[in-house]
Structure 1
Amino acid sequence: DKIIIMTDADVDGSHIATLMLTFFFRKMKELIENGHVYIATPPLYLVKKGKQERYCWTEKERDDITQEFGVKGVHIQRYKGLGEMNAHQLWETTMNPDTRILRQVNIDNAAEADRVFSMLMGDDVPPRREFIEKNAHYANIDA
């Protein structure tokens, strides 16, 4: 009874999730209204030191855990995509029903995704430029 959108944890994954939400909002709105659409939240980082390891979903969380572990000897793995995780990691963080984090999509956030997608992909340049200038500092652009 769940449709789970599972994309990479980076900006590209967010873009793909927005496209998918826009599709569901425009063509199958009842699935959202009835609570069947979810977004999986894979981690962006794995922080390891010795036998300790913790997954992180944000840069702040990564920095906090790095400080907690002590900077020396800490290894940080950045996941640019789900394909960079081995099968065990993907199961443990994103697919296991007992441990995964799913965000249920509601009509408010689907409507916002539709609005933003329409604005970003539309022909009216000034609102798109304003949105990008206002929100670009939130983007974690992959090199």
Structure 2
Amino acid sequence: EAENADGTVEVALQWSSSYSTNSVMAFANNINTHEGGTHMDGFKQAITRTINDYARAKGLLKEKDNNLSGEDAREGLAAIISVKLHDPQFEGQTKTKLGNTEIRPLVQNAVTQGLAEYLEENPTPAKRIIGKATQALKAREAARKAREMTRRKNVLDSFSMPGKLADCASKDASQSEIFIVEGDSAGGSAKQARDRKFQAILPLRGKILNVERAGLHRSLSSETISSLITAIGTNIG
């Protein structure tokens, strides 16, 4: 907590194993400012900067690594921000967004100082917090690369399709089918029996990776998974 001539601020926060990034509530003079505002902006900026600064200082983020985004740093974070001002100014249609610019640095400084001290004094939970944020960063970057890799002009466009895919003639996804078979032998039989107009065949080799256990990064490195994603025409995330 902190106080100056402009007002007072109290903040309580806790990280958990959750993947949520939206568990932050903010109040101004006991009014729930669910649209956010300057106090929320100061809080978010302080969290992101402090987490990145600590991770860099302790070598948990390498020089080649990108900075953690705000959502990376706040993944699993639950927090309550409460500010008290002499003359609160509310904005938005429902007047639930705080507009006082003078409160932003007060919140920012209070959170930066308090969180930095906690991280320095508690290295074990600090390492877990940074580890969760860096995993969120890796997952976000892997998902972005996968979206770029699988983005197609047309869902059933044969351009850059997996080599063993026997595509169908139809370009209408709602009227088309894809049969996934094991191995080239089964694929050959299925190709002979299919209706080329709307039925596609994709032979896959061996046992497919268990993506629930493997995690996103390893799953997206699998040629079989990539072929399946590309053939179906879906994105990731």
TM superposition score normalised by structure 1: 0.31
Larger RCO, structure (CA 8 Å, separation 6 or more): 1
Q: Which has the higher helix share?
A: 1
Structure exhibiting the larger radius of gyration computed from Cα positions: 2
The normalised TM-score by structure 2 is 0.22
